[in-house]
Amino acid sequence: MFNKILIANRGEIAVRIIKACKELGIKSAAIYSDIDITAMHTKLADESYHIGSSVVSDSYLNKSKIIELAKSISADAIHPGYGFFAENASFIEEVEKAGITFIGPSSRSVKMIGSKTAARALMKKNNVPIVPGGTEPIVNIKEGLEYAKEIGFPILLKASAGGGGKGMRKVSSAEEFEAAFESTKREALKAFANDDIYIEKFIEKPKHIEVQIISDKFGNFRHIFERECSIQRRHQKIIEEAPSSFVDEAAREKLVTSAINAAKACDYYNAGTIEFLMDQNKNFYFLEMNTRIQVEHPVTELISGIDLVREQISIAAGNEISFLQEDISIKGFALECRIYAEDSANNFLPSTGKILRYKEPNGPGVRVDSGFSENSEISIFYDPMIAKLICWDRDRNKAISRMKRALNEYQISGVITNQDFLKYIINNKQFIDGHYDINFIDSMNLNGVDFSESMSIEIENAAALITALSKNKSSNISNKTDKAIQSKWWTQNYE
């Protein structure tokens, strides 16, 4: 097993990895930027090292600094978490060349699956169903329009190097195609430094179903069932559940078989996720493969009893998977809500500032994965997710009831959160009945919905409010300068 692991990330996932290291008796080394000097992950790790300014390119995305630091502190391995360098093949390659173990797949596997067009071609070759469409980038508008007419509108234009919902546009008619083609190319180039785009058939009212897989360097492959991630806003997941109430045993068997085939196709090892779109007739199609631990991994852990991060570390250290497929079964139901510092009533604009009060819910079947506490700073530099609230119970209805209770108990003040928006969703009859797809939030009429409770800053008295605001002028969007900064941040990171 490793002696020391450098964690090349921040926030709740860094905290999650640190806790796994402590349980395994491995020293953890954290990195932090200027603004994260007092962050939870910085304080919890056995060792913490300043990596650069708050600007992400100078710190958490500074490849050479991270690798040189790992070498200088004699770290055996680097765990990337998710985001940042987690799926960056060139970073993994440099880690491998430095003689350090990357806790994740090989750079070769990531390269094989990194391009969405190449991944589609690979999946098709290995009997994994793909959405009807191309496996090569479209060269020009004329060629693209002819192909779009061939498979039939509506279609999706998608960036080959895309992810996170960026570089994706629905096109409903031939008249819309030229403008959509050009704008998607521009967005792809800006976001991914690669303007290759391809065409897929648009699947009406699909569900987003993904399968957790794990494999080792000895050729052993396991699936850990499926998750449903159809509650999305701007293609970003905000509520996840496991298992899916829509997937029956027959569909599950086909799904997990295809997921294992996908992992085998790219000689994969470590934890990974195969994402599918499933239509109303339970036909499913490969969407993409995420070559890392997922944000939503806790729901899988709670229904299976498998510690995925511990398994990741063990496999990277050269061990076999610790369980057989027949050892695990689905136990109960788990639901995850992502708690964001954002204003649900104001186009979900991120909210920055200092958290003045923070109290997590607890009790049986309640788990909170967070990297924040009282006096933590939510800055403009990073993703505004505060925590993940996960609830487990024996069945879906009981888990939803537990989530309602936990959301009501969660106390966060000083920044605006999306808690009321999450409450609004889980109280919706369509959600409760499981009758929803990835268009669920877009189809909701949110005009006039009151999210005022989540916007209120609850502190003990007016004097405390005045003191807090005088010390922290950015604790809310209170002036034109703050609004301009917020708008710029939003445009760069979300739109």
Q: Give SS3 for 45.
A: coil
Instruction: Classify the C-alpha dihedral 270-271-275-278 as positive or negative.
Output: positive
Active site includes 292?
yes
Non-local (6+) Cβ contacts of 443 within 8 A are none
State the Cα angle at 115 between 135 and 488, rounded to 5°.
Answer: 120
Instruction: Classify the C-alpha dihedral 116-119-121-124 as positive or negative.
Output: negative
DSSP 237-295: EEEEEES-SS--HHHHHHHHHHHHHHHHHTT--EEEEEEEEE-TTS-EEEEEEE-S--T
DSSP 409-452: H-EEESS--SHHHHHHHHTSHHHHHT---TTHHHHS--TT---H
Rounded Cα–Cα distance for residues 238 and 233 (Å): 7
- The residue whose two tokens read 């239509």 is 279
Rounded Cα–Cα distance for residues 170 and 155 (Å): 6
Measured between alpha carbons, how far is residue 316 from residues 102, 294, 331 in Å?
Answer: 7, 17, 27
Helices (H) and strands (E) in the chain, counts: 18, 22
Q: What is the dihedral of CA 425, 428, 434, 435, to 10 degrees?
A: -110
Pairing of strands 385-393, 357-359: unpaired
The active-site residue, picked from 120, 292, 367, 402, is 292
Tokens of 170: 């629905």
Tokens of 16: 């999650």
- The residue whose two tokens read 């850990």 is 224
Are the C-beta atoms of residues 398 and 434 closer than 8 Å to each other? Answer: no
Active site residues: 292
